[in-house]
Structure 1
């Protein structure tokens, strides 16, 4: 099934069930009003939501209405935890190679992960407000999952059973703030503003297309599309080159703590290796963040030439199923000045 959260003026919005084709929706109020409530009692509530989903898809839901992604908050507008991994080691290799640094052997066996802010997620069509272009504004197209309860010490295989929903993310990064923060030895903070998520989050059974399952062993084998200012810059395959699958990422968190229902775990930037053609490395699948493009340019030309995002830029992140239809709906955002917002409010 497919679930979304509609804006209603509150912090947590109203849970809606969305049809498979993303055309229609129905409030889940008669069952539960918040996604977190469903996650807390998934075994009891999810079958009721599934019944509503089936009725909606068959035209039997009496109070259905056209689905509008612009009315959506993040599927889970605020979460108990947001932990973002770096599951695509190719991305790490490019970043390291661009600064002539080796990738530590442990990076291939132990996932990289940081804990981000989860109190204020962005909806799929919300503006990305940043104080200054000089901060190095970047998008990051990712896949993310929402969990139920997963106990401390869970194996990767056990952790996979804790996945309830899958969605897309734009993990906005302010690249020019990162070096100074990492130099402190405590990791990202101000360089990672609010993350945006796709209009809908979907259950794992939605990835079966004509008997072919795109969800395999904790990886989603579909193409993640990134379109920057109307130009498609990324067509990255999310499955084959994901070094650590979602079960491994969740188990990494579970080594010393429980993971509770409503935790969000990100894959990190989806990244594909280059191929050698005519004596030169090329990246036919493009990129899922500007930083990676700049690393490629540095490796090839000695310095980056692609600039980071400017105010007025737009980013669209979407994933199509094997049937050619949008699975999650699209993240479509514009970069705007938060300083201009404050000036206008004070005028």
Structure 2
């Protein structure tokens, strides 16, 4: 099943996609509830006549970093260091990103204030359907209701500077995160699962119609079930939580290519550029970059006396 959230005739709906149409769900039904089998009640409306929004509004977004090739390339580009940190191999590390920055699969993306190095990131995200705590990986599969595409837009210049403080990223990742085009229920992707438990989905990234990256989701170093288990360690995961795979390798973002090539080729994204990300079995999202706003000036840190009472 494919669950969509959309605008039609001035109203916002959740619905089930049926071929080239979408049918609204009963009022008050969440996308996660729908994925467990709630049937649509509305008339069929052509997808061409609706405006697709992000398939859900997550309370939290944990973004992992599970592709070794991406870590190696981006570290060289952002930090100027080679190789992969040994600590990366210990566990599927993640950070919490901004759920208020979520945009739809075809919405425009403003350049983050003060940034000159805008980048995309091609990811797949798992969506939690059932609450759980301290889960084992073999339990976690029953807590994943479905999957969607995630584009974790990144201001690389802001990210590079702020992470020198050993905290973050923060404003380098704060302007936009694309989800879409649908929430695809987990059962639809089971035929793609390989013998090691990974989903073998083809991933493609294009800028202005030119392919710049291709990879397989099965090149992740941890399964989504292991990621959910780690996320639930000592805490809870709840319905609607989103867990991103992290950016794939082989051109899943521009910064990885910059690190590998030693130059900004392809160039950073500019207003007018359109980024299209396609994931086998899920679909495509396509966002166009537009001009953003200038940053509101702030003073630099004030050097204080450290006087004590």
Change in Cα spacing, 1:9 to 1:264, as seen in structure 2 (3 Å) is: farther
Deviation at 1:328, TM superposition (A): 2.8
Alpha-carbon shift at residue 105 of structure 1 (Å)? 2.4
TM-score, length basis structure 1: 0.77
Corresponding residue number in structure 2 for 1:29: 26
Q: Tell me the CA shift for residue 148 of structure 1.
A: 2.1
Deviations along 1:82-121, one digit per CA (max 9) or x if unpaired, are 0000011121122345634442323113112110011241
SS of the equivalent of 1:306 reads: coil
Instruction: For residue 246 of structure 2, give the secondary structure of its aligned residue in structure 1.
Output: coil
Matched with 1:177 is 158
- Cα deviation, residue 306, structure 1: 3.0
Name stretches of at least 5 consecutive residues in structure 1 with no aligned partner: 53-60, 272-285, 321-326, 341-347
What is the aligned counterpart of 1:296 among 260, 265, 272?
260
Q: How many angstroms apart in 2 are the aligned matches of 1:169 and 1:64?
A: 27
TM-score, normalised to structure 2, is 0.86
Q: How many residues align?
A: 290
Bigger strand fraction: 2
In structure 1, what is the Cα distance between the partners aligned to 2:64 and 2:261? 24
User: Are 1:229 and 2:208 an aligned pair?
Assistant: yes
Distance 1:48 1:83 in 2: 27
| Equivalent position of 1:15 in the other structure | 14
- CA distance in 2 between counterparts of 1:70 and 1:245 reads 34
Q: Which runs of 5+ in 2 are unaligned?
A: 295-309
Q: Deviations over 1:211-254 (max 9, x none)?
A: xx103465321111111011111221111x11011111111211
Spell out, residue by residue over 1:122-151, the C-alpha distance to the aligned partner (whole angstroms, 9 max, x if none): 000000012458431101111001102342
What is the deviation of 1:337? Answer: 0.8
Structure 2 residue aligned with 1:203, among 185, 209, 212? 185
Contact 2:112 2:155 (8 Å CA) reproduced: no
SS for the counterpart of 1:330 is strand
Pick aligned residue for 1:65 from 45, 50, 55: 45
CA separation of 1:147 and 1:105: change in aligned 2, threshold 3 A? same
Q: Is the 8 A contact 2:8 2:50 kept in 1?
A: no
Tell me if the contact between 2:115 and 2:158 (Cα under 8 Å) persists in the aligned partners: no
Alignment of structure 1 residues 1-347 onto 2, 5 Å: 1-7=1-7, 13-19=12-18, 21=19, 23-29=20-26, 32-35=28-31, 38=33, 46-49=36-39, 52=40, 63-68=43-48, 71-76=51-56, 78-97=57-76, 99-131=80-112, 134-192=115-173, 193-207=175-189, 213-216=191-194, 219-239=198-218, 241-271=219-249, 286-298=250-262, 303-320=263-280, 327-339=281-293
CA distance in 2, matches of 1:143, 1:136: 23
> CA distance change for structure 1 residues 313 and 255 in 2, over 3 Å: closer, same or farther?
same
**Partner SS for 2:251:** coil
